[in-house]
Amino acid sequence: MPQNRFADVRRFESIDSTNRYLLDEARAGAPEGVVAVADHQTAGRGRLGRSWEAPAGANLLVSVLLRPAIDPGDRHLATTAVALAAIDAIRATGVAGVSIKWPNDLVDTAGRKLAGVLAESDLAPAAAADGQPPPVVVGIGINVNWPADESDLPPELAGLAVSVSQLAGAPVDREALLVDLLAALEPRAADLASPAGRARLAGDLRADCTTVGTRVRVDLPDGSFEGTATGISPEGHLVVDKPARGGDEERMRLHQGKLPRRDHAATFPGQRTGD
Ligand code: BT5
C-alpha cells in the first residue's frame, strides 16, 4: 500500500457495508485516512436507501475516512475527489472513455454505470472526536470483473451496468486498481484543504463531466422543472438553466441530486445551493 495518508487499510471478507463501518469508526475517533475494503458486502448501500450490487470476490468495494477542514458547503467535493481518483486509476488500466455523470456516477461512453460513489457525513459534535474536523466517509463501488458480460446482470441492471474488464477486454487486477486509486486519491484529498485545490477539483470535474450540455429534470422540495445543465461552477456545483416566464432563463446551482438513468423516466431530487 502507498505510504501516504491511506496506509491503514482494513480488509474484510464479508461485511454489511464499508461505509457503515467507517462511520462507526469515525464516531469512535478514528483519524482521517482509514480505508475499509471488502470482498463482499451483505448490505452495500447506494444513496437514498438504494442498494449496491456486487458478487463476492469480483469488484472493488472500498471506503475512505476523510476529515477535511472545510465548510459544510464544500463537502460535496469529497465525492468529486474520489470520483476523479477512480477515473485516474481506471485510465491507468488502459481503459478510456470513462466520465463522471454528475454528481456521483462513473459511466462509459454508452452511459452505462461503471462505478458509484456514496459520501456520508456526520456533523454531530461527537463525531469531531478530539477536536478533529467532522468526518466524511466516501465509499466507491467499482465494477472491476463483474459483470463479465451482459448475461451476468440481473434484469433491473440490464443495459445499465458495465465493468472495467468488459471495457478492457480482459480480467483486471483488483489489488493493482486499489493501489492506484489510493495513490491518485492522495493529491486529490490534499486539494480539498485549500481554495486553490478545491478550484482544481472543480476544474477537473468540469473536464470529465459529461452531464454538462444535457437536458436534466430537477426535483426540488418546492416543485420540479426541466432545464439544461450548462456548466460546473468554480465551487463544483452543477449549473442548470431553467426556462422562466417571458422567455428568460433562470440560472440555478445544485450541489446534489440524481439525474435520470438513460432509459428511465426522470426523477431528480435536487438541492439548491445556498445562494
Ligand atoms: C451509488 O448510489 O451509486 C453509490 C454506490 C456506492 C457503493 C459503495 S461500495 C463501498 C461503499 N460501501 C457501501 O455500503 N456503499 C459504498 P446510487 O446513485 O443511489 O445508485 C444505486 C443504484 O445503482 C441502484 O439502485 C441500482 O440501480 C444501481 N446499481 C446497483 N449496483 C450496481 C452495480 N454494481 N453497477 C451499476 N449499477 C448498480
Q: Report the alpha-carbon distance of residue 244 to residue 227 in Å, rounded.
A: 10
Q: Kindly give the distance from the C-alpha atom of residue 44 to the centroid of ligand 1, in angstroms, as a whole number.
A: 8
Q: What is the distance between the terminal CA atoms of the chain, rounded to a whole angstrom?
A: 42
Ligand 1 binding pocket mutation candidate from 11, 34, 52 (most atoms within 8 A of CB): 52
Closest CA to 237 of 259, 252, 214, 253: 253
Distance CA 153, CA 53 (A): 10
CA distance 117 to 140: 4
Cβ–Cβ < 8 Å for 73, 254: no
The average confidence (pLDDT) of the chain is 89
Q: Beta strand 105-107 with 99-101: parallel, antiparallel or unpaired?
A: antiparallel
Q: What pLDDT score does 169 carry? A: 96
SS3 114: strand
CA pair distance 214, 109, nearest whole angstrom: 14
**Nearest-angstrom CA–CA distance, 246 and 267:** 26
Which atom of ligand 1 has the smallest separation from the CA of 261?
27
Question: What does the alpha-carbon distance between residue 83 and residue 101 come to, in Å, rounded to a whole number?
Answer: 10
256: CB partners within 8 A, 6+ apart: 76, 103, 270, 271
Confidence of residue 247 (pLDDT cuts 50, 70, 90): low
The SS3 of residue 34 is coil
- Residue 112 CA to residue 116 CA, distance in Å, equals 11
Q: What is the atom index within ligand 1 of the atom nearest the CA of 38?
A: 10
Residue 143 Cα to ligand 1 middle (Å): 10
* Total Cβ atoms within 10 A of residue 213: 10
- pLDDT, tens digit, 9 for 90 and up, residues 1-31: 667 899 999 999 999 999 999 999 999 999 9
Q: Which band of pLDDT confidence, cut at 50, 70 and 90, is reported for residue 86?
A: very high
> What average pLDDT score do residues 206-219 get?
88
Instruction: Yes or no: say if 239 and 227 are a contact pair by the CB < 8 Å rule.
Output: no
Name the β-bridge partners of 261.
Answer: none
Query: What's the pLDDT tens digit per position in 101-136?
Result: 988 999 999 999 999 999 999 887 777 777 899 999
What is the C-alpha separation between 99 and 84, in angstroms, rounded? Answer: 9
Question: What does pTM read for this prediction?
Answer: 0.91
Q: Give how far Cα 118 sits from Cα of 20, 105, 131, 217, Å.
A: 11, 9, 25, 21
What Rg do the C-alpha atoms of the chain give, in angstroms? 18
Residue 134 corresponds to which cell in the numbers above?
467532522
Residues with CB under 6 A from ligand 1: 17-19, 41, 44-48, 50, 52-54, 61-63, 104-105, 113, 116-118, 139-141, 143, 157, 161
pLDDT tens across 36-85, in order?
Answer: 999 999 999 998 899 999 999 999 999 999 999 999 889 999 999 999 99
pLDDT band for 268, please (50, 70, 90 cuts). very low
